[in-house]
Chain A
Amino acid sequence: DTEVTQTPKHLVMGMTNKKSLKCEQHMGHRAMYWYKQKAKKPPELMFVYSYEKLSINESVPSRFSPECPNSSLLNLHLHALQPEDSALYLCASSQDPGGTSALAAQYFGPGTRLLVL
């Protein structure tokens, strides 16, 4: 089973709201990722968690706050977002956090489509 689940599927929020995106995997993967994807563009990496520790933050604004409560869960807390933050937010996981292993293939969830008004 290579399933990554994400909730909610859709989210509409105002610029003053606080909301959270959730991601879950039960494949025993030790790395989890948040990506942002705008229309007709490839996914852009935001954060990487390796063994439940934040290992990469791709200079993401502080209005996005990731959290990894345990090895199966990944959250993305949103606060004071801007309309340009509207996008598809994708979670992914891989068995091996290292980029030089055959186990580094990343499996994506279906995404949360976010609209900021």
Chain B
Amino acid sequence: QKEVEQDPGPLSVPEGAIVSLNCTYSNSAFQYFMWYRQYSRKGPELLMYTYSSGNKEDGRFTAQVDKSSKYISLFIRDSQPSDSATYLCAMNRGSQGNLIFGKGTKLSVKP
């Protein structure tokens, strides 16, 4: 079993839809969880950074962590064509902050 599982998609939605992106993990030692957005041929951009179980909201984005189920989600409300990108979940391992990434989900928002 891989440490972090993420459905690679692709995921295609119409503009204005609510998007749900998910990752599961197997290592209960993971403490901090991140979501990155990566446009084609660019570096990953940090979107959300969460620690405790529960929800964290930032504009149209909501990150959700359920440590008991080892499951994290990113919701995008009122999706826009500019949200079309690959979304990577990541979580830290060990004392050096090494990030373990999911494979990334490619999202396409159609006008």
Interface residues of A (CB under 8 A from B): 2, 4, 6, 31, 40-43, 45, 48, 50, 55-56, 88, 90, 94, 96-100, 102, 104-111, 113
Contacts and interface: CB of A to CB of B under 8 A. Distances in A.
Given A99-B32, A104-B32, A107-B46, A94 B41 contact: no
B97 A106 contact: yes
Interface residues of B, number: 26
Interface in B2-56: 31-32, 34, 36, 41-46, 49, 51
Contacts of A109: 43
Main secondary structure of the interface of A (DSSP, over half): loop
A100 B98 contact: no
B111 interface: no
B42 to A, nearest CB: 6
B96 A50 contact: yes
B96 A97 contact: yes
Contact of A56 (B31, B32, B41, B96): B96
